[in-house]
């Protein structure tokens, strides 16, 4: 029973991490059809924003308020990463819509430049971020110790999902975004400013990548290449869930998380990764549109 509960918790924890990483990509790739290979570098920017915020608090704030740095770093990572995403969209991405191969190559080059910029500013070695005191230790339940950091990430994912749902389905801006993604020409005819919608959508997707980077600082040291470790997993989640479907992204993230945990428990970490790739390939052969297919009235 203890091993079963631990496996379930580890699967939920890994799924929540994958979901937080893939949430921004589900917006930029799934809704905008932009293959953003620099998504991993946006994760890196969010992680370094957290590191900078920690450094500022160490030098300028008393120790009793040190824990506040992480709570401030979460919105700061979102805002700063979203601003950089807006700059990238205005300067490059807007010229590459409906050109997936060009966007892939261009954003891959941007990602390499951002990595080198991070090495120049912060150095090549990894740096550590101290977790706030309220996230140290774990919750004892059923003879197990569940780390507070993992529990916090799960709750953070729930909050982010709730924010995305409210924005896309309960606000006028969200309705404009969904209208543009479903039928751009008709939205333009109805007076929707599609350029503004594109800019805001890409910024929101980039901002959630920054939040993911902030959360990853709770799991270990960070470095210029931290985003490259997760970009493939993020694309797997979006493709398995169904391109453009946020509900499918949630199901894909937790599905991959649970199966990956089970395979690693039965075999080894390396073989488990191989098995999850084989499972995904087999699944896509059976259902190439993903878990949740896109419904449209447009004629092919």
Residue ranges making up the domain that contains 79: 17-244
Across 56-74, average pLDDT: 88
| pLDDT above 50: residue 300 | no
Q: Is residue 112 part of a domain?
A: yes
Across 100-112, average pLDDT: 89
The pLDDT score that the predictor gives to residue 295 is: 56
Tell me the CA end-to-end span of the chain in Å, nearest whole number: 51
Buried/exposed code over 109-135 (b: 16+ C-beta within 10 A; e: otherwise): ebbeebbeebeeebeeeeeebebbeeb
The pLDDT score that the predictor gives to residue 112 is: 92
| pLDDT above 80: residue 297 | no
What is the count of structural domains for the chain?
Answer: 1
The pLDDT score that the predictor gives to residue 1 is: 64
Q: Is residue 214 part of a domain?
A: yes
Report pLDDT digits (tens) over 220-256: 889 998 888 888 888 888 888 876 677 888 888 888 8
Q: Is residue 97 part of a domain?
A: yes
Q: How many CB atoms lie within 10 A of CB 26?
A: 27
| pLDDT above 80: residue 292 | no
Q: Alpha-carbon distance 117 to 265, whole Å?
A: 39
Q: Is residue 258 part of a domain?
A: no
Report pLDDT digits (tens) over 179-232: 887 788 888 888 888 888 889 989 998 999 999 999 999 888 899 988 888 888
Q: Is residue 290 part of a domain?
A: no
For the CA atoms of 204, 206, 211, 212, what is the dihedral angle to 10 degrees?
130
Evaluated on CA atoms 64, 70, 76, 80, the torsion sign reads positive
What phi and psi, each to the nearest 5 degrees, are found at residue 165? -60, -45
Q: Alpha-carbon distance 258 to 273, whole Å?
A: 12
The fraction of the chain above a pLDDT of 90, given in percent, is 27
Q: Alpha-carbon distance 58 to 134, whole Å?
A: 17
Structure tokens at 255: 């599905």
Structure tokens at 85: 């995403």
The pLDDT score that the predictor gives to residue 103 is: 87
Across 268-287, average pLDDT: 83
pTM above 0.75, yes or no: yes
| pLDDT above 60: residue 28 | yes
The fraction of the chain above a pLDDT of 70, given in percent, is 95
For residues 227 and 3, the model is more confident at 227
Across 108-117, average pLDDT: 93
CA distances to 25, 86, 110, 174, 234 from 36, in Å: 8, 13, 10, 21, 11
| pLDDT above 80: residue 6 | no
Residue 293: DSSP 8-state: P
Residues in CB range of 170: below 8 A, 6 or more apart: none
The pLDDT score that the predictor gives to residue 299 is: 44
CA distances to 100, 127, 268 from 38, in Å: 14, 21, 30
Average pLDDT, the chain: 85
Q: Is residue 230 part of a domain?
A: yes
For residues 292 and 28, the model is more confident at 28
| pLDDT above 70: residue 77 | yes
| pLDDT above 60: residue 159 | yes
Q: Is residue 273 part of a domain?
A: no
Q: Is residue 285 part of a domain?
A: no
């Amino acid at each position: 029973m203890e091993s079963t509960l631990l496996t379930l918790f580890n699967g939920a924890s890994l799924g929540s991490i994958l979901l937080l990483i893939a949430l921004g990509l589900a917006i930029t790739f799934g809704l905008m059809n932009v293959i953003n290979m620099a998504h991993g570098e946006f994760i890196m920017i969010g992680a370094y924003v957290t590191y900078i915020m920690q450094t500022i608090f160490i030098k300028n704030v008393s120790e009793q308020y040190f824990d506040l740095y992480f709570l401030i770093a979460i919105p700061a990572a979102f805002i700063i990463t979203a601003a950089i995403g807006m700059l990238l969209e205005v300067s490059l991405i807007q010229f590459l819509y409906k050109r997936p191969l060009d966007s892939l190559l261009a954003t891959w080059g941007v990602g390499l430049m951002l990595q080198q910029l991070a090495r120049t500013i912060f150095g090549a070695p990894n740096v550590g971020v101290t977790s706030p005191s309220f996230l140290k230790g774990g919750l004892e339940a059923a003879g197990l110790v569940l780390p507070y950091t993992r529990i916090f990430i799960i709750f953070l994912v729930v909050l982010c999902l709730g924010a995305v749902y409210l924005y896309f389905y309960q606000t006028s801006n969200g309705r404009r975004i969904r209208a543009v993604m479903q039928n751009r020409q008709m939205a333009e005819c109805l007076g929707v400013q599609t350029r503004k919608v594109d800019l805001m959508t890409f910024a929101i997707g980039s901002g959630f990548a920054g939040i993911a980077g902030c959360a990853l600082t709770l799991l270990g040291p960070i470095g210029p290449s931290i985003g490259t470790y997760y970009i493939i997993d993020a694309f797997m989640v979006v493709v398995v869930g169904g391109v453009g479907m946020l509900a499918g992204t949630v199901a894909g993230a937790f599905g991959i998380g649970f199966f990956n945990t089970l395979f690693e428990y039965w075999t080894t970490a390396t073989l488990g990764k191989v098995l999850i790739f084989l499972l995904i390939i087999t699944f896509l052969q059976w259902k190439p549109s993903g878990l949740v297919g896109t419904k449209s009235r447009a004629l092919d």
